[in-house]
Structure 1
């Protein structure tokens, strides 16, 4: 009896489970709403005025530089300047022992006095001979000899005066003066050193640092591109046509004063293919020192109709050309090949391939391929921001 009860229970449970299963299959599944087009964030391209700049590495060089060398030989008696200080043109820097040059000057003056003393009797004799010649008391030869003696005495006087002037100049050269104003460096000699005229080693170097040059290099291809843009009037300069230059120091801080582009080299360096540009900066505080590494920012001009696209929107085609995805007619995605000129901050400056009003996709392109219909929202809108999160 117990066996029959268990069998009856098992059959009842099976029937119940089967009825529940068949009832569940009879229920209809709720329909899924159709998915809408993918949403993308777009940026509408509009022309804008952009100041085009180029950052180039360069080094500073002094406005003027002069190496101080002796022009006469002698012993240095004393140094008359402080190393690293400012000196003025004509300021005495070194003093050479002048004793021998003083003696030479005195000797030259004595020779001049003797020559002038010999000239006077020669002139008197020539005058008397002129009177005697008129009365036929002397021969023509005696008269000519007297005139020649006067000329010779005058020549000796002139030579003596030149010797005096030369001795005076050498005497003056014993005081070695600064040829230019500027900051003087360290001295290569001390008191007691023997120096010679026009020696190879300079006694000191003077550099004028206000203003100061900054020399930078630019490739010849970039120079040609800049000239083409100016010819096509896509770039605008000021009335004087001069380019303004800004400076960034080694530590990344901007230099407070602006400079100007002075000239570019007239030839291209065949080794590097670059052209040297020389810029000039005021340096009243002498913050810039010769040989310092800096970065010059050249303001090439202004493009009033520039089309800028964020770099994040630009990809590369299979052949390596830059391209963007835009939303075209009927809200469909299009791949557009573009031509870019350069970077401007975090944007690309587009030369060809885009027109004002084009909508460039910045976010959501992974969900929309060319030909796909999409829903657009402005880049940075709340919906796009939430989706990005």
Structure 2
């Protein structure tokens, strides 16, 4: 007996043809039903396992982004007070940190030598004037004698020459006297303008030489803040303010009008991170770009009525940069690889696709970007659970919730 017949006999199919065929068909039908049920359960299980992710639609925004630049703070006037003479410090009339007025005496250097120079120059001037007077009388006397033909005309010419020499001697003596008086005036050092006295390194009795620094005088009633911007930032700013089609002369005139006209007030952040209570205005900029850095310096004037800011302080100027038609991408929606940032976009088939972008800047907890399309759907969070081309179940999130940390007109 063959193995096939032996198997049929054992299974009870042989010798019971009708009953065996019915049983076989029943087994085949049961298998088909089981397969169909298994396939249905697989599809339901797959649908149940779709990841639900929050998504939001991108719309272009017009925003003002604060930009800060490190700046140097300088007094509107800062002068080094130096000695023009060599001498001893006889008196110091002010103290460090004292407010002084223009022309007020600050220091007195030894002046005996310069007093003697003034006296000597005065004596020489008096002598020159006396000689000039004598020469004038001689000329007048000789004129009479020449008219009477008692003396020849040559004698009168000689007398007139001596008078001219006496007059020139007076001029020389007056010049020497003025120089001596100027030298004497240098022994008293006075304030060049209203300001505050800085450190005084030399004390009474010290010997100072010509050019030695005695102190500094600073006027901090107002403060200059100098900061630098790149060439691209400069061009962006100026193109926003000027007519693109203006010729060079018109552009230069527009630059002056722009800098002198109505401008946005600029904030100052001091070194402790607190905003200065007074606002400043942009006044001017340098004429050339710095060769090493390719940047150009701008100057902002701030009032300083309380004297809070001192010369040489540091801080940051803060300006508002207006950006139009940009997209705000929450940082939690992104991941970074090397120099690119990435987000997941959801397409019409509810599949996610990785999209790279380069942000223009950061604004709070958001990236500012331009290379997107209106109504692009971005996965808000949970990106660590996603894979490219994965099918998801999107859960739309409103703009109010997405941008609630920003004061934006929605």
TM-score (norm 1): 0.77
The structure-2 alpha-carbon separation of the partners of 1:105 and 1:130, relative to structure 1 and needing over 3 Å to count, comes to same
> What are the within-5 Å matches in structure 2 for residues 152-231 of structure 1?
152-196=165-209, 198-199=210-211, 201-220=212-231, 222-223=233-234
1:202 deviates by 0.4
1:91 deviates by 0.9
Q: What secondary structure is seen at the aligned counterpart in 2 of 1:352? A: coil
Residue 18 (structure 1) aligns with: none
Residue 340 (structure 1) aligns with: 359
Residue 314 (structure 1) aligns with: 334
Matched, 1:362 2:373: no
Distance in 2 (alpha carbons) for counterparts of 1:75 and 1:206: 21
Distance in 2 (alpha carbons) for counterparts of 1:231 and 1:112: 65
> What are the within-5 Å matches in structure 2 for residues 1-389 of structure 1?
34-35=47-48, 37-196=50-209, 198-199=210-211, 201-220=212-231, 222-223=233-234, 240=261, 242=263, 244-299=265-320, 301-316=321-336, 321-355=340-374, 357-365=375-383, 366-367=385-386, 369-370=388-389, 372-378=391-397
Contact 1:41 1:380 in 2 (8 A): no
1:52 deviates by 3.1
Residue 23 (structure 1) aligns with: none
Q: CA offsets, 1:178-230, max 9 Å, x none?
A: 1232211121112122223x23x301111222322233344445545655676
Distance in 1 (alpha carbons) for counterparts of 2:233 and 2:117: 63
Q: CA offsets, 1:140-193, max 9 Å, x none?
A: 321211111111111111122222222222222221111232211121112122
Distance in 2 (alpha carbons) for counterparts of 1:177 and 1:252: 38
Residue segments in structure 1 that go unaligned for 5+ positions in a row: 1-27, 383-389
Q: CA offsets, 1:25-59, max 9 Å, x none?
A: xxx99976752753222233233332233222233
Residue 15 (structure 2) aligns with: none
1:78 deviates by 1.1
Residue 7 (structure 1) aligns with: none
Give the CA RMSD over aligned residues.
3.3
1:270 deviates by 4.2
The structure-2 alpha-carbon separation of the partners of 1:348 and 1:226, relative to structure 1 and needing over 3 Å to count, comes to farther
Distance in 2 (alpha carbons) for counterparts of 1:159 and 1:227: 59
Contact 1:315 1:324 in 2 (8 A): yes
1:320 deviates by 5.1
1:311 deviates by 1.9
Distance in 2 (alpha carbons) for counterparts of 1:379 and 1:275: 43
Distance in 2 (alpha carbons) for counterparts of 1:310 and 1:179: 57
Distance in 2 (alpha carbons) for counterparts of 1:328 and 1:218: 41
Distance in 2 (alpha carbons) for counterparts of 1:328 and 1:106: 100
Residue 13 (structure 1) aligns with: none
Aligned residues: 347
TM-score (norm 2): 0.73
Residue 8 (structure 1) aligns with: none
